[in-house]
Each structure stands twice: as C-alpha cells, then as structure tokens.
Amino acid sequence: MKNELRNGEGAYQLQHTGIANSGWSFGQLQWDLSSGNEYAKPLFKKILEGARNTKNKLLFSKKEATDLFKATIANASLSAPQRKKIDQALGSQYGRTCIDKQYSASLDKNINKINHIVEMVANPVDKSYLLQPLPKLFLFDYNNQYDISPNGAMERYLKGENAGWRFGQKQGDFDLVDLFKFFFSTKYFSDHPHDPIRRINNIWEVAKAHDIAPKLTEEDRQGIRTLYEKKISPLLTKFDTPVKRSYLDTFQQNTFLSALQQNPTTEPSIVLRSLTFAPGTNQAEDIETQPKIDRSLALSNSYENETSPFSMPEQNNIGVLINAMASFSNQQASQSGPSMLHTTFYPTPAITIASVTLV
C-alpha cells in the first residue's frame, strides 16, 4: 500500500499522480479509473450510486452519480467541491466496506497470479530464487503497477527467454540484479527514475521489518553498482529535488553499500566521477567515470553539482572537479552516515587525479 499511497494513507480518497497516461485512482492498490482495470470502474460507480451520509440519505442523485462517474473515468478536471463530495462517498461506511472487500479479493487474486507465474519457470535454480519472499514482493508490486500479461516481456524474462530489445535476456542464475535490470529498463524508469527507486526502497523497508531482506554478497554489490552506473548515472539530472535525491541515497544504502556492513571484512573500492568544465564557465560539459583508484573508500554518491564552486581561469583549457562521498566499512561510519571527501580542483588540460583526502 505504501508504494501506491501517501505513506500508506488515502485509500478512501480520489488521487491523481499528475503523470501522463495515469488517471484518477482510489483504493489501497490505487485502481486507475482511466485504465482497463476490471475492478475500478464498476466499483467506483457502485459507490457513487450507493453511498449515504450520516442521515442515511444518498449522497448523489442518479444523474449526479452518472455525470461524476463519466467525468472521472475520462480523467477530466474536477472542482474542489466535486472532489470533496466524491471523497465523502469513498470514505463513507458503504464506500469503505466496498473498497476493503475488493482489496482483499484483489490481494488473493494477485498473489495467486504471481505464484502461477513463478511456477511456470522451468529452471529449478531460478524458480527456487523467485519463490523467496523478497522477489515475490517485487513481482507483486510490478504487477500492480503494470500488470504482468501472459507471454509478455516480464513473463518471458522470468522464464529466461529474450524479452525484446528493451529488456533483453537474463544471464546466468536469476538474482536481484536481474530484477533491478528489468525494472530499470522500462520506459517509465527512463522518464521518472525517482519513482521506481522510491518503490524499491519501500519494498526493502518492508523486507527488513519482516527479516526477509537478503544478505548481499560481494558479487551482488558489484552487480548492483555496475547496474547503477549503466542505468541510473545517465539519469542523475532527473533527481533534481532533495526528496528525489534522498530516494537515491536510500537505495544505495540498502543495496550496494549495505553489503559493506554485512561483510565488514570486504575491502571496498571507490569510483570517482569527473566533471569537465569549459573555459571561464561553471557548466559541466562532460561526465566521465574514473577507474577504481582507492581501495580504502567506497562510493556512496556520485554527488554531481551542475555548477562549479570554483572560478575557471581563462588561460586554462579545461578543469576537473572531483566529487565523491565515502562510507567506511565499520560500525561507526554506518551510524554517523557517509563522510564527504575533500573536493580537489585540477586546472589542467588533461584529467589528472593526484589524490583524494578525507575531511
């Protein structure tokens, strides 16, 4: 529910994400009234026609209910009084009873659907992995958002088949990296990367609360870091608010950085990102990933600024601003959070990394 609602609240109110192709929605699973969801429209119409106020009088006449139903499913703009009255219907005793009953039925149906999809996976190793609680949580959430269609991309991907040019085919035994790779290959991720990251964080939070979060191996950590560089790093400019950046920080801590806490003997490494600036400007022209150069530090955040805090001397051709965040593989660092590295400026014609020092 937390992925669909505002911190798990608002099931009995009309919601709208404001994102293209999404319409008005309601309920714990946010049934979209503009989609082909089999429950949404009949249930919404039933509530509008049957909801009563505290004096046991119908909230809407037949015509009012019909007009509001048509406007809402057409994704039309609704006035504040209209929304208030619709919310009153959804939050009425009748509305809550209808929504809760459908929510329970939907949960059972979707759980059975995910179990059926996993059972179709022929590879015994892959099936064993996908039957674990965390992968099933991810699949349930994906199905609720996109609906896993028979022989569709996700189903073929889980079976080890080629899922098309966007998703490709998983390699080796199925693991968490394969799931993330699929999620990060959707068009929605390309357009709104912060929201799938937010959803993953919420699922991870639930997994930790129920002690089903996986113990990440060094191989897992490296795989997620590599995927981060390929899929997320090119989209960092879209994490353009403090809230969106906080989703990214949480994702890093939960996945490839949490492995350092789970495996304290592992020697971490760092990947630095370089920002190249044009002469006399503060605007980054190019971003280049540096090789691992220091085994005593671990990447926590690419921490890329759009503007440089330095003034570029006109006589220099280019300059490089190196920024990084470090997280130590010990208990003290995990309690205090990441430590910022000193920012070093090199006004040279070529990218030259001399040192990175802690402050």
Q: Region 298-308: what's the mean pLDDT?
A: 31
Domain limit, last residue, from 266, 290, 311: 266
- Report the distance separating Cα 39 and Cα 69, nearest Å: 14
pLDDT at residue 64 is higher than 90: yes
pLDDT tier for residue 237 given thresholds of 50, 70 and 90: very high
Would you call 43 helix, strand, or coil by DSSP? helix
Indicate if the alpha-carbon torsion angle 356, 294, 193, 338 is positive or negative: negative
Give the 3-state secondary structure of 274-323.
EEEECCCCCEEEEEEEEEECCCCCCECCCCCCCECCCCCCCCCCCEEEEE
Same domain, 186 and 303: no
pLDDT tier for residue 19 given thresholds of 50, 70 and 90: low
Query: What one-character DSSP code corresponds to residue 58?
Result: B
Same domain, 171 and 236: yes
Backbone Cα Rg of the chain? 25
User: Helical H runs in 166-217?
Assistant: 176-183, 187-191, 194-209
pLDDT at 88: 95
Percent of the chain predicted with pLDDT > 90: 45
Domain limit, last residue, from 214, 241, 266: 266
pLDDT at residue 129 is higher than 50: yes
Give the model confidence (pLDDT) of 194-214 as tens digits: 999 999 999 998 888 888 887
Same domain, 145 and 248: yes
pLDDT at 348: 30
Domain limit, last residue, from 233, 266, 299: 266
pLDDT at 258: 55
Give the model confidence (pLDDT) of 216-235 as tens digits: 888 888 888 899 989 999 99
**Paired tokens of 28:** 């714990």
Domain range for 84 is 1-111
Among 23-37, 73-87, 233-247, the minimum mean pLDDT is found in 23-37
Same domain, 252 and 137: yes
Q: pLDDT averaged over the chain?
A: 73
pLDDT tier for residue 38 given thresholds of 50, 70 and 90: confident
Same domain, 144 and 233: yes
Among 13-17, 141-145, 270-274, 311-315, the minimum mean pLDDT is found in 311-315
pLDDT at 20: 55
pLDDT at 154: 96
Same domain, 236 and 125: yes
Same domain, 152 and 99: no
- Report the distance separating Cα 99 and Cα 26, nearest Å: 9
Same domain, 145 and 99: no
183-200-223 Cα angle (round to 5): 60
Same domain, 219 and 356: no
pLDDT tier for residue 270 given thresholds of 50, 70 and 90: very low
Same domain, 160 and 259: yes
Q: How many domains does the chain have?
A: 3
pLDDT tier for residue 21 given thresholds of 50, 70 and 90: low
pLDDT at 351: 29
pLDDT at 215: 79
Among 139-143, 229-233, 235-239, 251-255, the minimum mean pLDDT is found in 251-255
Same domain, 235 and 165: yes
pLDDT at residue 7 is higher than 80: no
DSSP string, 14-38: -B----TT---EETTTTEETTS--T
* Residue for token pair 């929201």: 195
Q: Could you tell me if 293 and 262 are in contact, meaning their C-beta atoms sit under 8 angstroms apart?
A: no
Same domain, 144 and 218: yes
